Amino acid sequence: MAALSALLRRDIRLAARVGGGALMGVLFFLIVVAMVPFALGPDLALLARTGPAILWVGALLASLLALDRLFAADHEDGSLDLILMGRAPLELAVAAKALAHWLTTGVPLVIAAPLLGLFLNLAPAAIGAVALTLLVGTPALTCIGLIGAALAVALRRGGLLVPVLVLPLTVPVLIFGVAASNAALAGPVPFGTPFTVLVALTLASVVVGPFAAAAALRHGLD
Amino acid sequence: MRVSASNLACVRGGREIFRNVNFSLSSGQVLAVVGPNGAGKSSLLRVVAGLLRLESGRLDLEGGDPELTIPEQAHYLGHQDALKAALSVAENLAFWAGYLGTGPAAGDEALEAVGLAAIPDLPAGYLSAGQRRRLSIARLVAVRRPIWLLDEAAAALDQAAQVRLIDLMRAHLASGGLILAATHAPLGLDGVQELRLGNG
Amino acid sequence: MRLSELANPSRFNALAERLLPWLVVATVLAFALGLYQALFVAPDDYQQGATVKIMFIHVPSAWLGMLGWALMAVAALGTLVWRHPLADVAMKTAAPIGAAFTLICLVTGSLWGRPTWGTYWVWDARLTSVLILFLMYLGVIALWRTVEDPSRAARAAAILTLVGAVNLPIIKFSVDWWNTLHQPASVLRLGGSTIYPTILTPLLITAIAFTLLFVTLHLMAMRNEILRRRVRTLRLMRAAAANP
């Protein structure tokens, strides 16, 4: 347990220092969301209707693009070798890194979402629903993205490979995240139905993600 | 404790790196792995560290903690220093001590041993290559693990630092540790067994 | 390492120490006069009531948001052409201050918009241009935060700043075109030539007060950055000296 908390604290510290990516995800999120009206037009009614979807797609891209360096940085400086030689199970070490990444990238996205909701003219209920679904859904995005990040390191390829591998896997999370947000806004299904599925998807990803990522890292040894 | 290898073979990227490698190493002993470039010295160390898949053969451990594998009882000092430029000297060491070790870590003592005790607060990014190497070596002192796997550990070290490293290795052997070192230059220790890889 | 390089910034710091007390006093006086004029002399708008007084914060911060980028662009030339360390410092420290004024402009604009337009945000051409300016400020700040070595970061930031300076008018034009395309004539026109002297005088005074505030903050930030770089140099020297 001490080993895992050491890893967690190190990753959070690194994200917050110079060169760390803690606020980069939020900045990307902000820019993506701000770009959408230039394509759609400044029609406030249209933006309010599509707002939850825009915010979800923005958060999805922001959280996945930031994952690229999750294992790559440790691989380049040799830290990954030593992480593999620790006494803590690799699955838990990977999960600790994922938690640190979510705390430094996912949580800021959730906090920024209501503010961006104002830009898109969302109603207060919709803003609350989007923030709640993102709070529940971003851990799933991180844990699914974890698998792609581990595969990218194992294959020694970075950049766009992670989103290409991972985006299709995040389709269910996107569907139910946006569906729950829209349900809170307009119906016709009650909020609880898609939201419960979203919670289930997150729980499943949190379990499967670290196992798959650890397996990818072990098999990618070289 | 005793580490023995029989008929080890390693294949990387479809190319056979080495085969039929045998050695046996007990507490207090040093094995120097020598040979020309590309003979597989680094690969052998990574195989023992569990970082490279073994194609065939077996690695056995007698004594030591029966609950733990060889990699879990080994320190690996590879070509890279495993340091984060944004963290301070003390933070880097404290992280590895916390992650690799279990009991209380001897951080200050370790920095003293490698001559970095004066600058625990500086970011590792400010250090020279030799200083980074020394900080990396401090890890071996801060956390007690009986097997040391050293891959060209003396590279980038100046004369004074090499002498300190030899002292550390000597102390480690005296306390019952064992060392497997890939090297081009003589290690500077007595009673070194040699394992020659490749045709050289 | 290169203590001689710090000689010039040292003289700058000595000058800043002497100037700052005067600047602080001038800023406080200008704000006192400007706020008095804005709150008690300037009349309420016949339609918007007292909300129009947000203008006395909103408009000067918009000016200073743009002034900040202009200052950065001039300093960027200093960095690229003369490689002067003070230009690096001026460019780096102007970014957060310019971003802060731009943010004040956005927040006050949004608070002003709530009673006027009925929502906190409208994709009005001017506000949108300011939003893009803010995003570009954040990009420059992120660039400074990504690279630890100040002189390497300075050259990259200088190029980005100059490209941004060239692009800003194009962005402004595009946004105007985009906006009129979608919202013909429905955009609320603020200001223009219909400003009365009773509004114009307080506005000019608050603008001077804000400019003084900008200069004061910028000098303070430059002094801190010079000291921060000196600490970095000393720490590098300490690291180089630490050998067994």
State pLDDT tens for residues C5-33.
445 778 888 888 888 999 999 999 998 88
pLDDT of C1: 41
Which parts of chain C sit beneath pLDDT 70? 1-7, 45-48, 181-196, 244
pLDDT of C186: 39
Tell me: the pLDDT tens digits for A165-205? 889 999 999 999 999 988 887 777 788 888 999 999 999 99
3-class state of residue C89 by DSSP: helix
Residue of B nearest to A17 (CA): B86
Q: Helix %, strand %, coil % for chain B, to 5?
A: 30, 30, 40
Mean pLDDT (chain B, rounded): 88
Residue reference for tokens 């731009």: C102
Average pLDDT over residues B63-77: 88
3-class state of residue C130 by DSSP: helix
Among the partner-chain residues B85, B126, B161, the one whose CB lies closest to the CB of C235 is B126
Chain B residues 79-108 with a CB less than 8 Å from chain A? 79-87, 91, 94-96, 98-100, 102
pTM, full prediction: 0.89
pLDDT of A38 > 90? The answer is no
DSSP per-residue codes, B142-170: HS--SEEEEESTTTT--HHHHHHHHHHHH
Contact B83/C at CB under 8 A: no
Contact C139/A at CB under 8 A: yes
Q: Helix %, strand %, coil % for chain C, to 5?
A: 85, 0, 15
Question: In this complex, do A24 and C119 lie within 8 Å of one another by their Cβ atoms?
Answer: no
Cβ–Cβ < 8 Å for B110, B142: yes
Tell me: the pLDDT tens digits for B132-180? 999 999 999 998 899 999 998 888 888 888 999 999 999 999 998 999 9
Question: In this complex, do A18 and C119 lie within 8 Å of one another by their Cβ atoms?
Answer: no
Q: How far is B133 from chain C (nearest CA, A)?
A: 12
Greatest extent of chain C over all pairs of C-alpha atoms, in Å: 78
Question: In this complex, do B122 and C240 lie within 8 Å of one another by their Cβ atoms?
Answer: no
Neighbours of chain A (3+ CB pairs under 8 A): B, C
Neighbours of chain C (3+ CB pairs under 8 A): A, B
pLDDT of B194: 86
Output the six-digit token pair for C192.
């223009």
Cα C214 from Cα C210, distance rounded (Å): 6
Confidence of residue B103 (pLDDT cuts 50, 70, 90): low
Output the six-digit token pair for B127.
């250090």
Output the six-digit token pair for B151.
């891959």
The CA-atom distances, in angstroms, between B66 and each of A2, B1, B4, B63 are 21, 11, 15, 7
Cα A221 from Cα A81, distance rounded (Å): 9
Confidence of residue B15 (pLDDT cuts 50, 70, 90): confident
Cβ–Cβ < 8 Å for A216, A151: yes
What are the residues of chain C with a beta carbon less than 8 Å away from any beta carbon of chain B? 148, 235-236, 238-244
pLDDT of C244: 57
Q: How high is the ipTM of this complex?
A: 0.91
Tell me: the pLDDT tens digits for A16-36? 887 667 788 899 999 999 998
**Residue A164 burial (C-beta neighbours within 10 Å; 0-12, 13-18, 19+):** exposed
pLDDT of B95 > 90? The answer is yes
Residue of C nearest to A41 (CA): C182
The type of residue at C158 is A
Chain mean position to CA C175: 21
Among the partner-chain residues C148, C239, C244, the one whose CB lies closest to the CB of B127 is C239
Best probe of the C interface among A35, A46, A121, A122, by most C CBs < 10 A, is: A121
Cα B90 from Cα A143, distance rounded (Å): 31
Question: In this complex, do A34 and C122 lie within 8 Å of one another by their Cβ atoms?
Answer: no
Tell me: the pLDDT tens digits for A54-111? 999 999 999 887 788 889 889 989 999 999 998 889 999 999 999 999 999 999 999 9
Residue of B nearest to A82 (CA): B76
pLDDT of A209 > 90? The answer is yes
Chain A residues 80-109 with a CB less than 8 Å from chain B? 81-88
pLDDT of B199: 62
Q: What is the DSSP letter of B23?
A: E
Among the partner-chain residues C110, C123, C142, the one whose CB lies closest to the CB of A42 is C123
Using an 8 Å CB-CB cutoff, list chain C residues near A27.
138-139, 142
Using an 8 Å CB-CB cutoff, list chain A residues near B51.
81, 84-85, 221
Question: In this complex, do A18 and B86 lie within 8 Å of one another by their Cβ atoms?
Answer: yes
Q: What is the DSSP letter of B62?
A: E
Cβ–Cβ < 8 Å for B9, B56: yes
Cα A100 from Cα A119, distance rounded (Å): 29
Question: In this complex, do A34 and C179 lie within 8 Å of one another by their Cβ atoms?
Answer: no
Cα A82 from Cα B75, distance rounded (Å): 8
Q: Which helix (H) or strand (E) holds C112?
A: helix C85-117
Respond yes or no on whether the N-terminal peptide bond of residue A114 is cis (omega within 30° of 0). Answer: no
Among the partner-chain residues C132, C142, C179, the one whose CB lies closest to the CB of A42 is C179
The type of residue at B9 is A
Question: In this complex, do B76 and A10 lie within 8 Å of one another by their Cβ atoms?
Answer: no
